[in-house]
Amino acid sequence: MYAVSLHTIATQRAPDRCADLRMPERVSIVHDIEDALLAFFLQVARKEGALLTLMRQTPGFSFQRDRWCFTLPGLYMFLRRHYDEFRDIDYRKFRQYLFGCPVNRRISPFEAEIRIEDKQANVDGTTYAMVWSPSLPGGNEDPPGCPGRRRRP
């Protein structure tokens, strides 16, 4: 299991919430899941070594020098297996939370974005990619434990 809690990272970015404002539990759960998703994607965008090494060992994920490819079902299973925040969420709710999160806006400072890599008729069969811009510091480096693409001369 990955050592850093997503909840810890997510709560570090929540100054926009008033500490003395009590939210209904349902709303709080939504924010916790969204915060956890954003924290996860930020860790990937920053190419955090231990996380990428764990992800590299996950069937269904693929890495190249400038991208990480995944499907929604594969991402869901990975998050459920490795993070407590996702254990009690069913797949349909997971997709709703994911599509409602401003992931690209949050990872753009790291010159990364989520794109559709291979669109299929069913969203669950579509392959997505987090793509790092070459201008990102370290953007031309391979993620830890991931061989880069060989470029043709």
Q: In this predicted structure, what is the pLDDT of residue 107?
A: 96
0.95 cut: is pTM over it? Answer: no
Q: State phi, psi for 95 to the nearest 5 degrees.
A: -60, -40
Mean pLDDT of the chain: 77
CA atoms within 13 A on the CB side of 105: 4
C-alpha 25/C-alpha 145 separation (Å) is 40
Q: In this predicted structure, what is the pLDDT of residue 65?
A: 86
Q: Is the pLDDT assigned to residue 149 strictly greater than 70? A: no
State the SS3 of 27-93. HHHHHHHHHHHHHHHHHHHCCCHHHHHHHHCCCCCEEECCEEEEEHHHHHHHHHHHCHHHCCCCHHH
Supply the DSSP symbol for 118.
E
Name the residue with tokens 């031309």: 140
Q: Is the pLDDT assigned to residue 37 strictly greater than 70? A: yes
For 4-19, write each residue's pLDDT tens digit: 344 433 444 433 333 3
Q: In this predicted structure, what is the pLDDT of residue 32?
A: 86
Structure tokens at 53: 């090494």
Number of neighbours of residue 24 by Cβ within 10 angstroms: 8
Helix or strand (DSSP H, E) at 132? strand 127-132
Structure tokens at 8: 């810890």
Contacts of residue 96, defined as CB under 8 A and 6 or more positions apart, other chains included, come to none
